[in-house]
Amino acid sequence: MQTESIFLLVAYSTFGLLIVHILAMRFFAFLRRPVSRQLVTLGCVLAGNLPLLGISLVSPRAEDWLDSKALARAFYFLIVYNALGYSYFHLFNMSETARRVRILCEIDESGGLNSTELAGRYGAGDMIAVRLERLVAIGQLLRQGDRYVSKNSWLYYSALVVAEWRRWLKL
């Protein structure tokens, strides 16, 4: 298999993961069934292994499908695909869980909180102030007097991509 074919197979399998994820999320939204978004994402990544394995083992000569080169090629594809799937899962997961983790930590550290107490500890003003400070510290925003100005940063464009992806997934 040539380098170009290897690249195309990895690219198509990654694109296939995105399409399957969109379809799966829309399917569960259509059913109106509560389902863990992380489990759906993980299921899509894992499900992609079967067709990729089958495609990577296909050889021009049927008797060569179990030779060491075909098995090494299949193993390589599975490693690369799963590494990309792992990265995709964590990118998706970061956008889903950050606030929930903080809420769980606050409840655990205090031994239990009611919703009013939790809202007092998890105030929107503090949340925004902390995030603005972080964005200024990493150079994504500039502070000009009492206003924050975007520096047309990569983070902004990344956020646009994530927002569009969420729209495609109907989240």
Give 66-102 pLDDT, tens digit per residue.
567 777 777 888 888 899 999 888 887 776 666 676 7
pTM: 0.57
Query: Is the Cβ–Cβ distance between 53 and 78 less than 8 Å?
Result: yes
Residues 109 and 128 grouped into a single domain: no
Number of separate domains in the chain: 2
What is the residue range of 154's domain? 123-171
Name the residue with higher pLDDT: 16 or 2. 16
Residues 13, 47 contacting (CB under 8 angstroms):
no
Rounded-to-integer distance, Cα 25 and Cα 44, Å: 10
Between residues 146 and 63, the one the model is more confident about: 146
The reply to whether 24 and 51 lie within a common domain is yes
100 and 129 in a single domain? The answer is no
pLDDT tens for residues 120-168? 776 666 777 777 787 777 777 888 888 888 876 777 777 778 788 878 8
Helix (H, G, I), strand (E, B) or coil at 112: coil
Considering the domain architecture, whether residues 62 and 74 belong to the same structural domain is answered as yes
Contacts of 57 (CB under 8 A, 6+ apart): 65, 70, 71, 73, 74
Q: Is residue 14 domain-shared with residue 96, that is, in the same domain?
A: yes
Residues near 128 by beta carbon (within 8 Å), at least 6 away in sequence: none
